[in-house]
Amino acid sequence: MKKLIIILLLLYGQAYALEVRSTLKLYHHLFSSMSSKKSVNVYVEDVEYANIFVKSKYINLVSDVDKADFILVTTDKMLMKLNTKHMSNDTIIITNKYSHMTQSDKIVGAFYYRKGRKQFLFVKPRLEEHNVTLPSMYKKYIVDEL
């Protein structure tokens, strides 16, 4: 019986690990496409994302917005806070909501789900403003304006 419980726990752990791994893989690719740094500083307030990013060697979580290479906006509250703050061009803001892209020009790109499908969205002028050139696989997600 003990063995069975251990096996079930391991299987559950494996499934969770896969979830973490796929999310990390996606953000690793996204960040490394926009930055040439060996490791990136990321500012995120969402605990769920923070718990995932903390497992990465490539991502360093920072508590200071000014020290961040990337800021991941997950709430309207955070968006409002950032809108009032002057941000350096070196800091790239991304979001997990389409609506945030329409609400703030500071946000360069978004990763979100629509109708059960993964979606990326990048606005060309905002990319240019931050001197970001995306690899070809992201080209089809770039729009001129919203």
Q: Which is nearer to other proteins, 10 or 146 (CB)?
A: 146
Number of other CB atoms surrounding residue 123 within 10 Å: 20
Site string for other proteins, 97-116 (x = CB under 8 A): -x---------------xxx
- Shortest spacing between CB 118 and other proteins, in angstroms: 7
Residues 71-100 within binding reach of other proteins (CB under 8 A): 98
86-121 b/e with 16+ CB inside 10 Å = b? eeeeebbbbbebeebbebbebbbbbbbeeeeeeebb
Q: Is 3 in the site for other proteins (CB under 8 A)?
A: no
- Shortest spacing between CB 106 and other proteins, in angstroms: 19
Tokens describing residue 70: 């990337």
Q: Is 119 in the site for other proteins (CB under 8 A)?
A: yes
Q: Is 141 in the site for other proteins (CB under 8 A)?
A: yes
- Shortest spacing between CB 73 and other proteins, in angstroms: 18
Q: Which is nearer to other proteins, 54 or 143 (CB)?
A: 143
Check if the beta carbon of residue 71 is closer than 8 Å to that of residue 44.
yes
Check if the beta carbon of residue 132 is closer than 8 Å to that of residue 110.
no
Check if the beta carbon of residue 79 is closer than 8 Å to that of residue 98.
no
Q: Is 121 in the site for other proteins (CB under 8 A)?
A: yes
Interface with other proteins by CB under 8 A: which residues? 98, 114-121, 140-141, 143-144, 146
